[in-house]
Amino acid sequence: MSKRVLAILSLAVLLAACDSRATSPEVAYTTPGWYLERPRITLVAGPEIFAGPFTYDQCEAKRVMEFDPATAERLICIHEYTKPSRFGPY
């Protein structure tokens, strides 16, 4: 029985480590503006918001200056008027 409990606790810890609430729209969105986001291929996960709100120029500057080129290619600046849903603007 203790092996089962240990396995369940280990699984819970692993799943909690994979949680991305810090970059989810529910936490990162504060006011309307331009947000630096990484869209996801699967709609279930929703977008990740890395920073914002900005003006468009500030958003593009942050994307290009603070991330390496490979990462910057995958990030986009999106003008969010309202809090994005879990599925983002798609």
pLDDT digits (tens, 9 = 90+) for 13-38: 555 445 544 455 556 778 899 999 88
2 within a domain of the structure (yes/no): no
Would you give the DSSP letter of residue 81? S
pTM over 0.75: no
pLDDT digits (tens, 9 = 90+) for 65-90: 999 999 999 999 999 888 776 665 55
d(CA 28, CA 19): 14
Q: Which domain does 78 fall in, by range?
A: 20-90
- State the total domains in the chain: 1
Query: Distance of CA 32 to CAs 19, 66, 76, 85, 89, Å?
Result: 25, 22, 16, 14, 14
4 within a domain of the structure (yes/no): no
7 within a domain of the structure (yes/no): no
30 within a domain of the structure (yes/no): yes
